[in-house]
């Protein structure tokens, strides 16, 4: 009987486990894989990952998507319109509404 309970408990634990969250490095890799323009951040190692984290922090602190996008104008920060949604998808999916 105990063996049956253990056999049932393991699959249940796997099904109920939270999905692994992506990291800032995953965000940076996704940016590079998609060929997104990162503007001046190309000169700052870690800058892409930091911008993804900053994006998520802004959203978590209540800024709206248009407010966050305004903080990343095209040019200096690359293609903000593509960076922000990608940060949401890879680093902070809980901010997607």
pLDDT in tens, 18-69: 345 678 888 888 888 988 877 766 667 688 888 889 999 999 999 998 898 8
Is residue 85 within 8 Å of residue 52, measured between CB atoms?
Answer: no
The pTM for the full model equals 0.67
Residue-level pLDDT at 9: 44
CA distance 68 to 45: 22
User: Does residue 93 surpass a pLDDT of 80?
Assistant: yes
DSSP 30-75: HHHHTT---GGGGGSTTHHHHHHHHHHHHHHTT--HHHHHHTS-TT
Residue-level pLDDT at 82: 84
């Amino acid at each position: 009987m105990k063996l049956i309970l253990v056999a049932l408990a393991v699959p249940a634990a796997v099904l109920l486990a939270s999905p692994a969250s992506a990291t800032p490095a995953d965000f940076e890799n996704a940016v590079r894989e998609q060929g997104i323009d990162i503007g001046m951040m190309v000169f700052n190692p870690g800058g892409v990952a930091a911008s993804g984290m900053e994006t998520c922090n802004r959203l978590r602190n209540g800024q709206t998507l248009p407010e966050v996008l305004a903080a990343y104008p095209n040019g200096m920060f690359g293609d903000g319109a593509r960076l922000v949604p990608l940060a949401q998808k890879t680093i902070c999916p809980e901010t997607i509404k």
